[in-house]
Amino acid sequence: MAVQAKGGKEARARPKRAPGSRLTQDQIDEIFRRFQKADPHPKTELHYRDPFTLLVAVVLSAQATDASVNRATPELFRIADTPEKLAALGEAGLEAKIKTIGLYRSKARNLIALSKKLVAEHGSKVPETREVLMSLPGVGRKTANVVLGTAFGIDSGIVVDTHVQRIARRLDLSKQTDPVKIEKDLMRVVPRSRWILFSHQVTRHGRGLCPARKPRCPACPLDPICYASDKTS
């Protein structure tokens, strides 16, 4: 039911729930249903060919936009789409290909070391466990979860990027600020069968409708069940 706002304009009614209350399972299920209806087949926006090129793209995307990575990788993958070829470029050669991406020097260093380790210790194959992936230079928990979920369909965890962090808190799915703690909260309420899908859906939702500043709440399918303090009208 709408209520009258200042200036005579009609304001959207907020759910009758105080911020900080625990969500019921029905409320959580409704969040999942609305994400699913809005974006039933979400995919990563990074361009890749196989597990190795996905791994490279995800490492490059740290503190950088997917768009900037996608502009650089076509030429890179044309000449270096295997660990052997990438290692052969050397740091200077790789830097020249990715210099438009933030932190390109440290990323080049990590990717060359990562490629050499894949060749020497893993038969040039991308490992399919989080622990082993995280032993590679430049690969953290989030990167490992992305690669395992997207390339192999392995639900090792929930990818918690900046969008997932923000939206999990706005939807009261977690009150934590640390990504690992947020992931643990989400893993308790999101069914494991939805971990991969949920990560993609929330990230795309954050980019399209729910950015950090000026979320597009009137256009959001979750608006009727969201009571975030920074909602817009």
Among residues 81, 85, 161, 231, which one is catalytic? Answer: 161
Cβ atoms of 30 and 225 closer than 8 Å? yes
**What is the phi-psi region of residue 101: left when phi exceeds 0, alpha when psi lies from -120 to 50, beta otherwise?**
beta
Distance set, CA 21 to CA 33, 148, 181, 194 (Å): 21, 34, 19, 24
Q: Rounded to an integer, what distance in angstroms lies between the CA atom of residue 14 and that of residue 101?
A: 41
Rg of the chain over Cα atoms, rounded to whole angstroms, equals 20
Contacts of 125 (CB under 8 A, 6+ apart): 51, 118
Catalytic residue check, 223: no
Count the neighbouring beta carbons within 10 Å of the beta carbon of residue 227: 17
Among residues 142, 172, 185, 223, which one is catalytic? Answer: 142
Catalytic residue check, 161: yes
**What is the phi-psi region of residue 97: left when phi exceeds 0, alpha when psi lies from -120 to 50, beta otherwise?**
alpha
N- to C-terminal Cα separation, the chain: 15
Write out the catalytic residue numbers.
Answer: 142, 161
